[in-house]
Amino acid sequence: MLLNVLRPRKLLLACKVFVKLELGKQFIESPPFDLAATLADSSNITPIIFVITPGSDPISNLMTLAKQQNMTDRMKIISLGQG
């Protein structure tokens, strides 16, 4: 609370440092994305939907996985964004 009053912009960084010191870095770092495991969890009623941020492009990983699974003819890519 004192940190928020003194330096609001530093609060997020201070929270990350605190969690890393007290609990470990695995609680502040995202695990690597495993597309093959995601495919195994999906089905015809639970599709894979990518919500991405600017600068990220999972299409090359997706195309590689489609080739490995022999699914290039079944894959449909729909862009709902600006590009």
pTM flag (> 0.85) = no
Residue 21 pLDDT? 93
Alpha carbon distances (Å) from 39 to 21, 29, 47, 78 = 35, 23, 9, 17
Alpha carbon distances (Å) from 41 to 36, 38, 45, 46, 51 = 9, 5, 11, 8, 17
Question: What phi and psi, each to the nearest 5 degrees, are found at residue 81?
Answer: -95, -160
pLDDT tens, position by position, 36-45: 888 888 888 9
Computed over every residue of the chain, the mean pLDDT equals: 82
